[in-house]
Amino acid sequence: MKFAFFTAFLAILVKTGPAQSFTIPELIDLENNDIDFFDSKVIQKGYLLSKSNNDEVRYTLKDNLAMLNSIAIAYYPNVVDSSLRDRCIWWIFNSESNYIKIKSELKSEGFAIVNDLAEKDGKGHRFIYARKENEKVVSIHLVIRNSEIYKYPIYNLLVYNK
């Protein structure tokens, strides 16, 4: 009986697992398109709208009420003109296997590390990758944060397309 339950659990996990993650090309595609495109794509992957305000539109996995597995369009002031707002895609996840897959994918997609630094609060590390596409630079920040609440690291991936 336990074996049957375990097998069924694994089958569900295998079926739903990959849909919850994103590839680098998918994330760049989300950054390059409008909010309706973003909404459709993340809902297809099992995310639901969980927060919407002037700073972000966030979707969280159906089975996860915490922000541990969420994706957002985050808006922030433009560096040159603070009256303008730029945006980025911000994916938060807690899967080490996703982290390993993303690092490998960044390399195969032609991204190179342009900066590598500790977070200011000393609780994490930021790797900044970049690749030039046409006239724009796609910048991806991969951040590992040590969590005080959880016993495992939290990964943040931010995609900027300038």
**Hey, CA dihedral for 12, 13, 19, 20, is it positive or negative?**
positive
pLDDT digits over 12-39, tens only?
Answer: 333 334 447 899 999 999 999 999 999 9
pLDDT band at 2 (very low <50, low <70, confident <90, very high): very low
Eight-state DSSP code of residue 63: T
Class of 20-161 in CATH = alpha beta
What ranges do the domains of the chain cover?
A: 20-161
pLDDT digits over 43-79, tens only?
Answer: 999 999 988 888 889 999 877 655 578 899 988 877 6
Quick one: tokens of 124? 């994490």
For residues 42 and 40, give the distance between their C-alpha atoms in angstroms, rounded to a whole number.
Answer: 6
Q: Where are the alpha helices (DSSP H) in the chain?
A: 2-16, 24-32, 35-44, 96-108
For residues 120 and 54, give the distance between their C-alpha atoms in angstroms, rounded to a whole number.
Answer: 26
Packed helices 24-32 and 96-108: angle between N→C axes, nearest 10 degrees: 80
Length of the chain: 162
